[in-house]
Amino acid sequence: MSLPNILSIFRIFVVFPLILLLDVNPYIASVIFLIAIFTDYLDGKIARNYNKVSDMGKFLDPLADKILVISILVFYVSKNEISFWIVILILLREFAVTGLRSILAQKGIVLPALKSGKIKTFFQDFAILFYMWNLPYKEVLVIIALILTLYSGGFYFYRYGKEIF
């Protein structure tokens, strides 16, 4: 088990205590979230710089990111702070890109993280922090994150869909 994979697994296991803390102390929860975001950056950096890229890591890293973000968004839906349709659209994009990734993997093609996907992740994380800190314009940021989420999903299909159709 490599350090990048351990960091991805950490992100998955931190979700439950983070969600519990959101009700009790959103500021502590936001510190945990920031640490989780940092581990996402760190696991990729370590994997690339120390030749620790693995098939397990290619699976775990995006899975951990999705579990972390979607869990928090669902929490805010349950509190009626984010509209359910926003999270459903984000989920649909994530399932579609994961399906595309799976189909391409069967053909021996690795779907890399594209810049549009990284920008999407940044804005999702940024919007989540605004919700955790109850800052103004959080609704605007989540809509921007949604637009970028849908754009990046469409771009993945535009760029790699021809490989499956």
pLDDT digits (tens, 9 = 90+) for 112-141: 788 998 899 999 999 999 999 999 999 999
Stretch 29-43: mean pLDDT: 96
What pLDDT, on the 0 to 100 scale, is given for residue 17? 96
Q: Which residue has the tokens 């595309």?
A: 100
User: Taken in order 163, 122, 87, 33, is the CA torsion positive or negative?
Assistant: positive
Amino acid identity, position 161? G
Can you give the residue range of the structural domain that contains 112? Answer: 3-163
Lowest mean pLDDT segment, chosen from 61-65, 81-85, 107-111, 123-127 = 107-111
Q: Is the pLDDT of residue 3 over 80?
A: yes
Tokens read off for 146: 């949604």
CATH number at residue 136: 1.20.120.1760
CA 105 to CA 92: how far, in whole Å?
20
CB 160 within 8 A of CB 61: no
Q: Positive or negative, the Cα torsion across 2, 64, 128, 75?
A: negative
User: Total domain count for the chain?
Assistant: 1
